[in-house]
């Protein structure tokens, strides 16, 4: 959590508390992902209250995906769907560089690993999962 706080991905629930034992909502997790894409709510790129609408605006979610993610409890499977969408979303200021591309460029994962990931997601999509 210290890394996420240092990188501006999370702010916690107050100046002193992170809220590790609290449930997470679709809106809260989406806010994490938007920040990971380089957007900064403290710089007025988006607002926490408007995070879900902003996710639609930047192409993180489609209407259908957002509807499914925001049906009720935000489940572990929803987290996976949201993270996969984030990896395929363009980072702030780019029309063709995704978060996945950025991870490859930074050496976090190799190009081969990124391609294997994309192929695995395509197979899952074909199976209708």
Reported as a single tens digit per residue, the pLDDT across 12-41 is 666 666 666 678 899 999 999 999 999 999
Look at the pTM and tell me if it is higher than 0.85: no
The verdict on residue 103 lying in a domain is yes
The verdict on residue 82 lying in a domain is yes
Q: pLDDT value at position 76?
A: 82
More confident position, 62 or 12:
62
pLDDT at residue 9 greater than cutoff 60: no
The verdict on residue 10 lying in a domain is no
The verdict on residue 14 lying in a domain is no
The verdict on residue 1 lying in a domain is no
The verdict on residue 89 lying in a domain is yes
User: pLDDT tens digit string along 64-108?
Assistant: 999 988 888 888 888 888 999 999 999 999 999 999 999 999 999
Q: pLDDT value at position 93?
A: 95
Query: For the chain, how many structural domains are there in total?
Result: 1
Q: How does residue 5 score in pLDDT terms, banded at 50, 70 and 90? A: low
The verdict on residue 20 lying in a domain is no
Do 59 and 66 meet the contact criterion of CB atoms below 8 Å apart?
no
Instruction: State which residues form the domain around 121.
Output: 25-126
Long-range contacts of 20-28 (CB under 8 A, 24+ apart): 23/73, 23/74, 24/74, 25/74, 26/52, 26/69, 26/70, 26/74, 26/78, 26/82, 27/51, 27/52, 27/70
Q: How does residue 124 score in pLDDT terms, banded at 50, 70 and 90? A: confident
The verdict on residue 77 lying in a domain is yes
């Amino acid at each position: 959590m210290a890394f996420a706080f240092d990188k501006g991905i999370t702010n916690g629930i107050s100046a002193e508390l992170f809220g590790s034992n609290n449930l997470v909502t679709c809106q809260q997790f989406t806010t994490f992902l938007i920040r990971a894409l380089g957007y900064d709510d403290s710089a007025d790129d988006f607002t926490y209250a408007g995070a879900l609408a902003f996710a639609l605006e930047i192409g993180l979610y489609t209407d259908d995906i957002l509807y499914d993610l925001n049906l009720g409890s935000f489940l572990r499977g929803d987290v996976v769907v949201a993270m996969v969408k984030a990896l395929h979303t363009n980072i702030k200021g780019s029309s063709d560089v995704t978060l996945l591309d950025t991870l490859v460029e930074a050496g976090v994962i190799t190009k081969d690993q990124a391609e294997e990931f994309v192929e695995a997601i395509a197979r899952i999509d074909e199976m209708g999962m």
